[in-house]
Amino acid sequence: MSKTQELADRVERLLLRHEELKRTHDLLAQQLNAVTLERDNLRSRLNAARGRIDSLLQRLPTDQPADSPSATPAQEDE
């Protein structure tokens, strides 16, 4: 095989490899986009859940601790 033919074959293989890598890159870019959107959605849901939990925590009574003796039902009846 001549040097020119070997070089042409090598260039052909490199072009095929380039196209393959380009397709792989495009697929990975699509996957990254999908994962980024999913992450953003999950962050949004997490923030909403935190907001609901904070709201519930603010509604809890804070005057007496739960283990306080004055909070037991037996003592309230006396």
Per-residue model confidence as pLDDT tens digits over 19-72: 999 999 999 999 999 999 999 999 999 999 999 999 999 999 987 666 656 555
In angstroms, the Cα distances linking 15 to 3, 12, 49, 58 are 18, 5, 51, 64
Rounded to whole angstroms, how far apart are CA atoms 64 and 56?
17
Q: Domain for residue 38, yes or no?
A: yes
Q: Domain for residue 72, yes or no?
A: no
Number of domain units in the chain: 1
Domain hosting residue 53, numbered range: 29-57
- Whether residue 75 contacts residue 69, with contact meaning beta carbons closer than 8 Å, is answered with yes
pTM for this predicted structure: 0.62
Q: Domain for residue 13, yes or no?
A: no
Supply the pLDDT for residue 78. Answer: 46
